[in-house]
Amino acid sequence: MQRRSAARLGPLLLLLLLPVAWGAGPEPPRAAGELQVSSRLAGQAARVALHYLNYRLGSPSALRALGQVRKATVKTIPGIGHKYYLQFTTEDYKSSQNVGTCLATVLYLKRKPRPAVNINCTYTKDQKQTREDDYSFYKKLRQQTKPITGNDIPDSYGHIEPALEPAWALAVAGSSYLMWEKSTENLGYFMAQVKNVKQWITKDDSIDFDYLVILHEIPTQEMISCHLRVIWTPGHPLKVKYFCLSENQQSESEEGSGTESGSTNGIFNEEEANF
């Protein structure tokens, strides 16, 4: 299949969609020490950890966004890279309610492309409820006889059609994979908008979506269009394929299957085993 992308957002739309105002922040630290919790780099590292978590759990009802960074330190590991030690609160992606605190380490390696993440979080939401929510969400999508299609989610007023919410939530989970992969110590990503989505009705048990998503790169302000294929079955790792086209026309293609290095430990492993 030939795939092309051209879409870009105007500056007005960009302002409406930007969830957080980013400060200029200090220069990247080059020696061991405490970072300011307000620092752009601490927030960026915490978001990398959450991208990893949202992708790895593959649970549309458990998507988390960053609340506040409480603690952040960074250590330089000679010859290897910078390791961030973070403590932060998280919010439900949709309702913005507090859903627990996370401890994470994010290691930006000098050579390997994607950051290595280790994250443990507490839950305020009942885990059985989360699994049930995922399942009813899944059932709704399976019962779809006409494929879901849509454009501009959210629209320029920040509104999401209720019928498109499941497709949007899976776009958030799927794009988390590529945002985790693309992130570096100095470059962070937000998924600004789903430009278009198309569901493929499958014969097996999976839910299958094709997306064109717009990523907003921080602090360059570049808008990047990515084609994303997301295949989801509850209780299985999310399958993600993507292809991006940035303004300078560099392209990348990667594939994820939930088995990548980086790790969730402790409480998450237990929960995942029951998932």
Ligand X SMILES: *[C@@H]1O[C@H](CO)[C@@H](O)[C@H](O)[C@H]1NC(C)=O
Q: Which residues bind ligand X (CB under 6 A)?
A: 103-105, 118, 120, 265-266
Measured from the CB atom, the residue of 48 and 244 that comes closer to ligand X is: 48
- Minimal distance, residue 265 CB to ligand X, in Å: 4
Task: State the nearest-atom distance from the C-beta of 120 to ligand X, in Å.
Answer: 4
In whole angstroms, the minimum distance from the beta carbon of 54 to ligand X comes to 17
Rama region for 83: left / alpha / beta (φ>0; ψ in -120 to 50; rest): beta
Unique residue bearing structure tokens 């990515």: 226
Whose Cβ is closer to ligand X: residue 103's or residue 170's? 103
Tokens of 146: 């006409």
Residue 67 CB, shortest distance to ligand X, in Å, is: 17
Angle between helix 127-142 and 267-274 (nearest 10): 40
* Rounded Cα distance, 148 and 141, in Å: 9
Q: How far apart are the first and last CA of the chain?
A: 34
User: Which CB sits closer to ligand X, 118 or 127?
Assistant: 118
- Alpha-carbon distance values, 263 to 41, 53, 91, 117, 213 (Å): 21, 9, 21, 6, 26
Question: Which of 44, 105 has the CB closer to ligand X?
Answer: 105
In whole angstroms, how close is the CB of 252 to ligand X at the nearest point? Answer: 28
* Burial environment of residue 162 by CB neighbours within 10 A (0 to 12, 13 to 18, 19 or more): exposed
27 burial (CB, 10 Å; 0-12 / 13-18 / 19+) is exposed
- Which one, 119 or 223, has the nearer CB to ligand X? 119
CA 211 from chain centre, in angstroms, equals 15
Smallest distance, Å, CB 103 to ligand X? 4
DSSP 90: E
CB nearer to ligand X: pick between 166 and 262: 262
In angstroms, what is the minimal distance from the CB of 48 to ligand X? 13
Using only C-alpha atoms, the chain has a radius of gyration, in whole angstroms, of: 18
Q: Which is nearer to ligand X, 235 or 266 (CB)?
A: 266
Q: Quickly tell me which residue has 């290691």 as its tokens.
A: 107
**Placement of tokens 């570049």 in the chain:** 222
